[in-house]
Amino acid sequence: MIVFLLLFVILIIFSASGIKIDREYQRGVIFRLGRFKHIKGPGIYWIIPMVDQKVQVDIRTATVDIESQETVTRDSVTIKVNAVLYYKVSNPEKAIISVKNYQTATYQAALTTLRNVIGQHILDEVLKDRDKINKAARDIVDQITDPWGLKVELVEMKDVELPQTMQRAMAREAEASREKRARLIKAEAEQEASLKLTDAAKSISENPAALELRRMQMISEVGTENNTTTIVIMPSDFVTMAKGITQLAQNRSSEQKPQSDQT
């Protein structure tokens, strides 16, 4: 009786050891006597102890930081680039059987691919067209890892470190570009102002009263300021009239002088 009871307890322990539980984001790759049998999970299931072996796989999206590495662009500029890789296991069977360590293999594939893709572009493209480079790198890594049952979702460059000499050269170039734009804007403003002045001069020449109105406006503007001296500008017609009166008086005096001499 004791022997049967002992055997029953051993059988229960043996059977209980085959109970496995996987969470919603986990899958169990089952091997029976060394050969792939099937994929289990999520939830609770039972495998044959000592006959079946389970390898657990996480199917959530994994984030991997790609360490900073030196690479040379197509225009022979040495830069340092670091990036981040997002991928997930789409086929747990291939991820375990097709490659020894899919995490390390994916990391190395992304590392070398990113270096090769950057080497096909010049520095300006690396700095301005990051989305294009990221997409090209993602497509290549996805093709490499597809036979391993992996899906690459994103390859994103985080930072591009430039040499000090290149940073100074780019700063000088940016400063020269800003100065060029400033000079062009100033030249355009002066050209527009000259055109406006030309139109104003033409309008004043056609209507002399406009000049007098402008003078009166200038007097009012001067008067509004905190000045102790007020400048009064005489209209040009008044000046011309005064000159005419003076000349007429001089002519009359010259005519009257010979008459007085004759008498």
7-23 mean pLDDT? 88
The predicted-structure confidence for 83-119, as pLDDT tens digits, reads as follows 999 999 999 999 999 999 999 999 999 999 999 999 9
CA distance 29 to 256: 134
Residue 76 — left, alpha, or beta (φ > 0 → left; ψ -120 to 50 → alpha)? left
**Where are the alpha helices (H) located in 17-129, listed in sequence order?**
92-97, 102-119, 123-128
pTM, entire model: 0.64
Residue 260 has pLDDT above 70, yes or no: no
CA distance 100 to 58: 16
Burial bucket for residue 115 (CB in 10 Å: 0-12, 13-18, 19+) = middle
Residue 12 has pLDDT above 90, yes or no: no
Per the DSSP assignment, residues forming a β-bridge with 65 are 84
Higher pLDDT, 49 or 197: 49
**Where are the alpha helices (H) located in the chain, listed in sequence order?**
2-16, 92-97, 102-119, 123-128, 130-145, 164-206, 209-224, 236-262
182-192 mean pLDDT? 84
Q: Measuring CA to CA, which residue among 77, 72, 69, 68 is closest to residue 170?
A: 77
Contact present, 148 and 108 (Cβ < 8 Å): no
CA distance 232 to 229: 10
CA distance 40 to 92: 10
The predicted-structure confidence for 211-239, as pLDDT tens digits, reads as follows 666 666 666 666 565 555 555 555 555 55
SS3 178: helix
Give the single-character DSSP code of 233. Answer: P
Which residues are within 8 A (CB) of 261 and not within 5 positions of it... i.e. 6 or more apart? Answer: none
Extract the tokens encoding 178.
Answer: 């800003």
Per the DSSP assignment, residues forming a β-bridge with 70 are 80
Whole-number pLDDT of residue 199: 76
Contact present, 156 and 64 (Cβ < 8 Å): no
Tell me the domains of the chain and their CATH numbers.
Answer: 2-58 (no CATH), 66-162 (3.30.479.30)
What's the longest Cα–Cα distance across the chain?
A: 180
Extract the tokens encoding 170.
Answer: 């780019």
